[in-house]
Structure 1
Amino acid sequence: MARWKINLIVLWTGQFLVMAGMTMIVPFLPLYLQELGMHDEHEVALWAGMIFAGNFVTSFLVQPLWGGLADRYGRKVMLLRSGFGMAIVMALMGFAGTAWHLLLLRMLNGTVSGFVPAGVALMSANTPREKMGFAMGTLQSGAVAGSILGPFMGGLMAEWVGFRPIFFITGALLFAASMLAAWLVKEKFDAKEAASRPRQSMLASFNELRLTRQLPSLYAVTFLIQFSLLSVQPLLPLFVQKLHGQDAMLAFYAGMVGSVTGLSNMVASPILGRVADRIGPERILIFCLVGAAIASVPQALVHNVWQLFAARFFLGIFLGGLLPTVNALIRKHTPSGMESRSYSFNSSALSLGNMLGPVVGGAVSGIITLQQIFLFSGVLLLINAFWANRSLAPIRSEDSSSIP
C-alpha cells in the first residue's frame, strides 16, 4: 500500500478518536457544573458558554505559533505534541473542583491543541496533488464521524459511569490516537532544509502568505463557513422543541437533528473530494456553498421534526464539500515549506468562526424569529459563494489560458 494511503488510514482513525473524545463532554457540561455545586440556571448557562468558548479563544491565538514550529521541526512532532498534551489536560479535567478549574483547563487545552490542523498539514504535504481532494475529504469524514458519535457515547457513559470518569476515558482516547500516529505515520520532511530557512515571526509569516492573494480569501471563506453554520447551532434544540413539543423524546430528537447533518456530511466528503480531483476544487467549493445556501431555506419552512431531519440531511451533503476543498486549495496555493503555517492561520479563522457564530446567532435571535435565523445563515453562505467565486475565478481563467 502507498505510504500516503497508510498515513490517511491512521490519521482518519486519529481524527475520529480525537473528535469523539473532545465532543464526549458536550452533552453533560452543564450537568457537570451542577455537580460542582452551581445551581442557578442562568449562572450555569453563562459558565457553560464561557467554558465551551475558552478552548477556541486560546486556539485562535496560538495556532500560528504551532504552525511555524511545525514547518521548522516537522508536522509529526506537532501532531504528537498536541495529542499527548490534550490527553493530559483532558484527564486533569476529571479532577476539577470548581468552574474556574474547568475554564482554565479548557483554555490550556486550546493552547496545546492542534491535532486536526497538524494532521491536515502532514497529509497535504505527503499526498500526491492529484489525490488531494480525496485525501482531504476522507480525513474530514473521520473528524465528522467522531463529532457525531462523541456526544452520543458521552451521553450514554454519563448514565453508566458518571461524569468524571468520562474525562479519563477521553484522555485515554487521545493518548491512543497519539500512540497510533507515533508508531505508524511516516513523514517526508527535510530537517536540514527547514533549518536553513530564516526564522519568521507570526506577523512576518502572515505578511508573506498574504502576498499569495488566494490565501487570505480562503481564510475568510473558512471563517464565514463556520460563522454562518454555527450561528444556528445553539438554537436547534429550541427549534426542535417548538416543532415537537416538550416530552421525554425531546433530547433524543434534538441530538438526532445534529447527528443527521454529520451523517450525510461524512458520506459526501470523500465522494465530493474525488469529484474535486477531476474537475477542480474551486468548482466544488462554489457549488457546495450555493447548495448549502439553498438547503438552508427549507429549514425555515418545515412544520414538523421529520421534515427538519430531511432538510438537515440535505444540508449535510453540501457541507461535506466545503472545508475539504478549502484545505485542498490552501495546499495548492501555499508556498513550499510554509504548509503548516498556512493551515494554522486557517485553523485560527475556523476557531474565530466557532467563537463568534453562536454569540451573534444568539444575539440576533432576540431580534428575528428562529426560522429567519436559517434564512440569515443561507444569505451568509450565498455571500460567501460570491466572494469565493470572485477571488478564485481569475485563477481558473489564468490556469485555462496557460493550457496549450
Structure 2
Amino acid sequence: MNQPADHIPRRRAALAFIFVTVMLDMLAFGIIIPVLPHLIRDLIGGDIAKAASWVGSFAALFMTMQFVFSPVQGALSDRYGRRAVILISSFGLGVDFIVMALAPTMWLLFVGRLFSGACAASFSTANAYIADIVPKEKRAAAFGMLGAAFGIGFIIGPALGGLLGHWHLRLPFWTAACLSLLNFGYGFFVLPESLPKERRSPRFDWRHANPFGAVVLLRRYPQVFALAAVFFLLNLAQFSLNSTYVLYADYRFGWGPQAVGYTLSLVGLCSGLVQAVLVRRLMPKLGERRMILIGLSLCVMGYLAFGLAPNAWLFLLAIPVFCLGGLAGPPAQSMMTHQVDPHEQGRLQGALTSLASLAGIFGPAMFANLFALFISDHAPVQHLPGAAFVLAALLLVGATLVAIRATRHIAPSFTPAPSTPEPLEHVP
C-alpha cells in the first residue's frame, strides 16, 4: 500500500520529538540537581547531615508518586495512545517547576516534588513510543539513542544549573519550567500518534493500572521478570549517586554547585558517547548478553572507585569507567520488549518505571542515611564516607549473577542492520 507523501517526514519529526522530549526533560531535571540540596539546606537552616536526610526524603516522595502513577500512565497510553500522555506530562512538569520556583517553605517545595513525580511520565511513554515504531532488531540502538538524549541533557543541565544557581538558587527552577513548557508547545504541533487504534488495548483496566498488577504482567514472562530484577538493582544502585553525590562531593572535596555541575556534565558527556556511539557499534560484535554482563561489571568497578578513591583526581578518572556501565541498559531493555505483545508495550514500560520508582522509594533514604551515618561520630568504620557507593557495587554484583542465569538460554537476537536504512513503520 502506498504511503502518503508526507509519511516519512512526519515519522522523522516524531522520532526527533521523542529524542528532544527526553533530552529537554533530562535537561530540566539536571538543572535543579546542583541546587535542590542547597535550597533544602537553606530552608531548614540545618547542617549537611540533616540536609542529606531531607534530600533522601524528597527523592523517596518523588519516586513513590512515580511508582503509583507510572502503571496508570502506561495503561492509559496502551488504551488511548502515547501522544496525550507525553503532552500532559510535559505541561504538568512545567507548572510544577513554577510552583517549586516560588515555594517559600519546605511544605510547598514538598508538594512540588509530589506533583512532579506524578507528572514525570515522558520517560516510560517515550520508551513505549520507540517500541511501537522500531523493529525488534533495531531497538537496542534506539534505546541507546534515548540514553544519549539523557546524556546530552545531563551534560548541559547540571553545568547550567550550577551556573544559574551561583547567581540565585531559584533561577534554575524557572529555567526548567520554561524548558518543559517549550517542549509541550513543540510536541503539540509536531508529535503524531505512534499507536494506531487497531493495536490499542480494548479497554482501560484498573487491575492493570496499578504497580502490583504491573508486576503480574512481568511474571507472565519469566525471562522478562528476571531481567526486570536486574533492571531494579541497576536503578537501586543508581540512587547512591543521585542522593549523595552533591553532598558527598561537598564533604570530600569541597565542591560547590558550579564544580558539581561541571563534573555531572562530564558524567553526561561520557554517558552520551556510550549510549549514542558504543551501543550501536558494539552490538553486532558482542551481542545483547555479553553487553549486559560487560556493562554490569564496569558499573561495579566504577562504584567501587567512587567509594574508595583517596583524592579528587582518581574520583574523576573513575567517571568514564562508571559510564561504560551504560552498555548494560539498552540491550536488557531490548530483550524485554522482544518478549512482550505489542499492545502491552506501554504496560511493560510502566511496569519498569514502577520498578525504578520502587528503587527510588527505598534507595535515596537508604543511601543518604548511610552517607550521614558514615560521616558522623557514630560511624561503624571511620574514613569511609563513600560507603553508599560501596554498597551500590555489592548490589550490582548480585545483579550480574542474576543476569548470567537469566540470559544463559537466550539466543542472540541481534541481526546487523542493512546498509540502507529501512523506514520505520506504524507512525501515521
Which TM-score applies when normalising by structure 1?
0.86
What is residue 310 of structure 2 aligned with on the other side?
Answer: 303
Q: Which moved more, 1:364-373 or 1:221-230?
A: 364-373
Q: Distance in 1 between matches of 2:370 and 2:52?
A: 18
What is residue 102 of structure 1 aligned with on the other side?
Answer: 109
What is residue 404 of structure 2 aligned with on the other side?
Answer: 389
Percent sequence identity over aligned pairs? 23
Contact 2:298 2:321 in 1 (8 A): no
Contact 2:307 2:386 in 1 (8 A): yes
What is residue 123 of structure 1 aligned with on the other side?
Answer: 130
Deviation at 1:387, TM superposition (A): 0.3
Deviation at 1:339, TM superposition (A): 0.4
Q: Which runs of 5+ in 1 are unaligned?
A: none
What is residue 111 of structure 1 aligned with on the other side?
Answer: 118
Q: Secondary structure at the match of 1:12?
A: helix
Q: Distance in 1 between matches of 2:401 and 2:301?
A: 14
Question: Which letter maps to 1:262?
Answer: G
Q: Secondary structure at the match of 2:270?
A: helix
Q: Which moved more, 1:340-349 or 1:293-302?
A: 293-302
Question: Which letter maps to 2:409?
Answer: P
1:379 maps onto 2:394 in alignment: yes
What is residue 322 of structure 1 aligned with on the other side?
Answer: 328
Deviation at 1:76, TM superposition (A): 1.4
Tell me: CA distance 1:195–1:228, structure 2 relative to 1, closer, same or farther (3 Å). Answer: closer
Contact 2:162 2:258 in 1 (8 A): no
Question: Which letter maps to 2:23?
Answer: F
Question: Which letter maps to 1:118?
Answer: T
Q: Distance in 1 between matches of 2:107 and 2:27?
A: 24
Deviation at 1:106, TM superposition (A): 0.9
Deviation at 1:193, TM superposition (A): 4.5
- 1:8 equivalent among 8, 11, 15: 15
Deviation at 1:338, TM superposition (A): 0.5
What is residue 260 of structure 1 aligned with on the other side?
Answer: 266
Contact 2:162 2:260 in 1 (8 A): no
Contact 1:60 1:348 in 2 (8 A): yes
Contact 1:265 1:317 in 2 (8 A): yes
Q: Distance in 1 between matches of 2:164 and 2:264?
A: 19
Q: Secondary structure at the match of 1:394?
A: coil
Q: Which runs of 5+ in 2 are unaligned?
A: 1-7, 375-379, 415-428
Question: Which letter maps to 2:121?
Answer: G
- 1:168 equivalent among 171, 174, 196: 174
Tell me: CA distance 1:277–1:311, structure 2 relative to 1, closer, same or farther (3 Å). Answer: closer
The 5-angstrom pairing of residues 207-226 of structure 1 reads 207-226=216-235
What is residue 423 of structure 2 aligned with on the other side?
Answer: none
Q: Secondary structure at the match of 2:195?
A: coil
Q: Distance in 1 between matches of 2:51 and 2:307?
A: 30
**1:21-72 per-position Cα deviation (integer Å, ceiling 9, x unaligned):** 1232222224434665x32336655444433432111111111111111100
For the aligned residue pairs, the C-alpha RMSD in angstroms reads 2.8
Contact 1:17 1:146 in 2 (8 A): yes
Contact 1:50 1:103 in 2 (8 A): no
Deviation at 1:156, TM superposition (A): 1.7
What is residue 136 of structure 1 aligned with on the other side?
Answer: 143
**1:172-228 per-position Cα deviation (integer Å, ceiling 9, x unaligned):** 110111222232233332224525357351255542442111222222112101222
Tell me: CA distance 1:301–1:47, structure 2 relative to 1, closer, same or farther (3 Å). Answer: closer
Which TM-score applies when normalising by structure 2?
0.82
The 5-angstrom pairing of residues 17-96 of structure 1 reads 17-33=24-40, 38-41=44-47, 44-96=51-103
What is residue 291 of structure 1 aligned with on the other side?
Answer: 298
Deviation at 1:167, TM superposition (A): 2.6
What is residue 156 of structure 1 aligned with on the other side?
Answer: 163
What is residue 5 of structure 2 aligned with on the other side?
Answer: none
Q: Which moved more, 1:74-83 or 1:363-372?
A: 363-372
Question: Which letter maps to 1:322?
Answer: A
Contact 1:234 1:362 in 2 (8 A): yes
- 2:277 equivalent among 271, 279, 304: 271
Question: Which letter maps to 2:223?
Answer: Q
Q: Distance in 1 between matches of 2:227 and 2:142?
A: 19
